[in-house]
Homo-oligomer: A and B are copies of this chain.
Amino acid sequence: MTTATLLISCPDRPGLVHAVADFILGIHGNVVHAEQHVDTEAGVFFQRVEFDLDRARIGRDQLAAAFAPVAERFEMDAQVHFSDERPRVAILASKQPHCLTDLLARWHSGELNVEIVAVISNHPDHAALAEFHGVPFHHVTVTAETKAAAHAEITKLLKGYDTELVVLARYMQILDETVLDEFPYRIINIHHSFLPAFAGARPYHQAQQRGVKLIGATAHYATRELDEGPIIAQEVTPVSHRDTVADLVRKGRDLEVVTLARAVRAHVEHRTLVFGNKTIVFE
């Protein structure tokens, strides 16, 4: 069954739910899932509606145009997606393999309904892993001197692959604005702390230093403000005085893997909407 998904945001006013339901009923679609949210402070309405097209009176290529009058009338910002489209995802990684290995395995097993188009790394280590999964691998060295050139090359590669989502799978380089601006809210990073605690470098060292009793991981959209982008998912796990930094690193890996995968899944299933610096994550 192919479904269509409408992702909508607009000024809140009465009749929005009705208008969307009316449209779907009119084209003989059938709602399989709908969720809405109102930011009452900002007066903004958000909705995700998934409906099947099996008996629809119009073709999928006509859907966006058919909805346009509704969108216009209510000043909606609307996206249309189809469940059989597989977003094109590129993964950037550094030395540590756990997030990369996990994403490839989830893709391989069919859990992530995406096309992984490339693995890019500032280290050569993961070439064999990428090859095992039949994914092109690119080694792009990044040094203080070559940074601008490296980022230009990365951007070129990402665009060459028609990349729709970039996943930073413990990629240890800070992307500059030339890359970030190319993919607004389409770059997901995993930070190895419970943000906003322990932003910046070496969060597990910071956590051990502060003596916290829980450590965390945060998946967020990467923006120009380092570790400040809209949060998609967070997880924590208990630690104690017995845990060395190495223990935190080990325990943290399991958090990072699961938190990043959850965020990627939410994005590629079109369940996320960014508003201000927050992410609405529909279920």
Contacts and interface: CB of A to CB of B under 8 A. Distances in A.
A170 to B, nearest CB: 12
Contacts of A175: none
A206 to B, nearest CB: 9
A146 interface: no
Interface in A15-52: 15, 17-18, 21-22, 24-25, 28-32, 34-38, 40
B32 A38 contact: yes
A108 B129 CA distance: 12
Nearest to A210: B196
A101 B24 CA distance: 43
A17 B230 CA distance: 31
Given A212-B231, A242-B283, A277-B211, A35 B37 contact: no
Given A101-B105, A210-B231, A236-B236, A25 B18 contact: yes
A187 to B, nearest CB: 17
A159 interface: no
Number of chain A interface residues as a range: 35 or more
A37 B242 contact: yes
A231 B213 contact: yes
A254 interface: yes
Given A30-B14, A194-B197, A236 B214 contact: yes
A78 interface: no
Nearest to A35: B35
Contacts of A21: 17-18, 21-22
Contacts of A210: 195-196, 231, 277-278
10 smallest beta-carbon distances between A and B, as pairs? A211-B278, A18-B21, A197-B197, A213-B234, A241-B280, A14-B30, A18-B25, A17-B21, A101-B105, A21-B21
15 contacts: A14-B25, A14-B28, A22-B22, A35-B35, A37-B241, A128-B132, A132-B132, A194-B197, A195-B197, A195-B212, A212-B231, A214-B234, A214-B235, A241-B278, A254-B258
